[in-house]
Amino acid sequence: MQVIAATGCGIITNQGAYPDPRGEGKAYYRQIALYDDKFIPQFAKIAALIHENGGVAIQQILHAGRYGGIDLGYCVQPSEIPQTLPHFRPPREMSKAEIRLTVKEHAAAARRSIQAGFDGVEVTSFMGYFMANFLSKFTNKRTDEYGGPVEKRARFMVEIIKEIKEAIGDRPLCLRLNGAELMDEFGGNTEEECLEMIRIAVETGGVDMISLVVGWQESRISSIGRDVKPGHWNYLAKNAKKVTGNVPIAFGVRLPDAAMADELIAGGVIDFFEICRPLLADPQRLHKYAAGREAEIKPCIGCLLCLSRLFRDLPYLCTSNPVLGHEVELGAEPEEAPLKKKVAVIGSGPAGLECAITAAQRGHAVIVLEKEDQIGGQLRLMAEHDLANKEDLFDLLRYYRAMLGKLGVEVKLNAAVGPNFRKLYPDVDAVVLATGAKISTDYPLAGGQVADGLDVLRGKTQAGEKVAVLGGGKVGLYIAENLAGKGKQVMIIESEQHLAGDVMPTAKWRHISLVKNLGIEAFTGARIKEICEAGVLIIYKNNETVLVEADTVISSRRDADSSLLDTLEFAVDELHCIGDAVKPRGLYQAIHEGYRLGAKL
């Protein structure tokens, strides 16, 4: 919390606390609670920490509603609308007495927040949580005073606002409301209805700020991931500003760029730049921006590892920021090394680059040796062929380039390493192998030729019009989606029962949607019997032999490229191996391993 408190933010909102002793509002196992006075001392420490760093402290109250009851086996909603996602609990419709009790519990939690020293309170309805369940015509089918037209669906929100203002007096109350639910396919609110809810909230006279948010957890449309370009949702803020009048708007959905935020504020579109995930990626981003060091800001790449872990009841981690969640044992910055070394990093993928800059920050003299003519490794290759927002990944590469330059790391391109390493680099004390992974084209009974999938992406190998991709993990999906996007007829052959087995949970749906929308045929649960000139013979459903006709067969299977371990074993004092060179995995593991090794060298 100390790291976040020192970000330079003018207002800091503490994570949402559920307000009911039953735990119906509890969204995840580690969620904090504020249903009893016994919690006040712990919250007081957080408020004091924010104040010590010059910030205004706001406590959020979060009743998860449809997504709550994690310890109970059920959830509460205004109406008994079945879940569309199977991991949430079965719903139970609330009585009017239960609704009024929950309103009182919100107000009591707000009172405790102020007693703990917080300056104000925020109530959230975003992502399909409790208040959103009342506001939305998807989850609110009631026929009493809490359901029906917009005004009646807003009744619960209005009661919450009035009760909290009575509890906290003239202290500020912020309300998080959807500018868009993105729930059209389920019959959710339109953007116009969302605006009407904002108007009703403002007209109560009890709301001091609107935090504008987008989407529900069940939305099939991305709102904050890499599929959405920065600035895409700005129009929602413009529309909301027309109905909020003098009530300020805080906004930050896919708005990671402080320069863009400055433009919106100057243009009167928003009043506060709201940041969440970008500050997890780089807690110093505001200080760097203010000092004109924008190139040194480590970007949030929109991969949503943070939410993938949160929704599986694990502490936040960040792909870009290896220190997040481990500040105590790792420290906010790498410590100066007691003994300075000459370190050679072989390979300039994300693992190697992260290790290089971290080692340089500790005072080591670092040289990066890259066999290709550009840095970036497979990160650059994937960025070039990403069907989402490419700039998120390219921003990460731009950050690494900037830091290599700032820290004086020497980079040698077209520098293949071989047995003569010691002769070429006699003063090197430690070598880090970050040589990544390579594609294996070695398949049994391969009578036909099998192409290297990465070489296909690089343009070194041309694919025919009918393509079979072996493997439905993330690399196979990248290859298949790119070729299908170019008009090729693509089939994926996967031995597991489902595609995207190694894809981050929050991104699986994206690939499944692309497979469907691009017309890619998937043979899951299939075993390869033979690769022949006509295509691939597979053992498929009911143990039948099926020919998947293809004029090009492409492998996406990755093996660790660690061959230099033997070559360099007696050429250097210290020899380390990180990232995909240990075992092919993902960007998160590569960056984290690079940092941890760099911090120990």
Tell me: the pLDDT tens digits for 538-575? 999 989 999 999 999 999 999 999 999 999 999 999 99
Please name which of 481, 484, 474, 471 lies closest in space to residue 440, comparing C-alpha atoms: 471
Active site residue 399: no
Contact 495, 463 (CB under 8 A): no
For residues 412-419, average pLDDT: 96
- pLDDT averaged over every residue in the chain: 95
Return the structure tokens found at 58: 């706001």
In the predicted model, is pLDDT for residue 444 greater than 80?
A: no
Give me the pLDDT at residue 1, please. 64
- What are the chain's domains? 2-275 (3.20.20.70), 330-436+561-598 (3.40.50.720), 439-559 (3.50.50.60)
Contact 106, 159 (CB under 8 A): no
pLDDT per position as a tens digit, 347-391: 999 999 999 999 999 999 999 999 999 999 999 999 999 888 889
pLDDT per position as a tens digit, 22-50: 999 999 888 999 999 999 999 999 999 99
Euclidean distance between CA atoms 493 and 526, whole angstroms: 6
Euclidean distance between CA atoms 225 and 387, whole angstroms: 13
Give me the pLDDT at residue 4, please. 81
Contact 121, 161 (CB under 8 A): no
Per-residue confidence at 136, pLDDT binned at 50, 70, 90? very high
- Other C-beta atoms within 10 Å of 236: how many? 21
Tokens 């609107």 — which residue?
Answer: 210
Q: Who's near 424: CB < 8 A, 6+ residues apart?
A: none
In the predicted model, is pLDDT for residue 226 greater than 90?
A: no
Beta pairing partners, 273: 251
pLDDT per position as a tens digit, 334-345: 999 999 999 999
In the predicted model, is pLDDT for residue 99 greater than 90?
A: yes
Which helix H or strand E contains 368, and what residues bound it? strand 365-369
- Other C-beta atoms within 10 Å of 429: how many? 16
Q: How far is CA 601 from the centre of its chain?
A: 29
In the predicted model, is pLDDT for residue 436 greater than 80?
A: yes
In the predicted model, is pLDDT for residue 407 greater than 90?
A: yes
Contact 210, 198 (CB under 8 A): yes
Give me the pLDDT at residue 333, please. 85
pLDDT per position as a tens digit, 268-310: 999 999 999 899 999 999 999 999 999 999 999 999 899 888 7
Which helix H or strand E contains 435, and what residues bound it? none
**By CB neighbour count within 10 A (0-12 exposed, 13-18 middle, 19+ buried), where does 337 fall?**
middle
Give me the pLDDT at residue 394, please. 95
Q: What angle do CA 193, 70, 131 make, to 5 degrees?
A: 20
Q: What is the SS3 string spanning 393-430?
A: HHHHHHHHHHHHHHCCCEEECCCCCCCCHHHHCCCCCE
Per-residue confidence at 314, pLDDT binned at 50, 70, 90? confident
Q: What's the Rg (C-alpha) of the chain?
A: 27
* C-alpha pair distances (Å), 41 with each of 75, 114, 117, 201, 388: 29, 12, 10, 32, 45
Per-residue confidence at 330, pLDDT binned at 50, 70, 90? confident
* C-alpha pair distances (Å), 479 with each of 142, 361, 451, 475, 494: 48, 37, 12, 6, 14
For residues 513-532, average pLDDT: 95
Q: What angle do CA 515, 519, 520 make, to 5 degrees?
A: 55
What percentage of residues in the chain have a pLDDT greater than 70?
100
Name the active-site residue from 129, 400, 478, 595. 129
Give me the pLDDT at residue 125, please. 87
Return the structure tokens found at 237: 């803020």
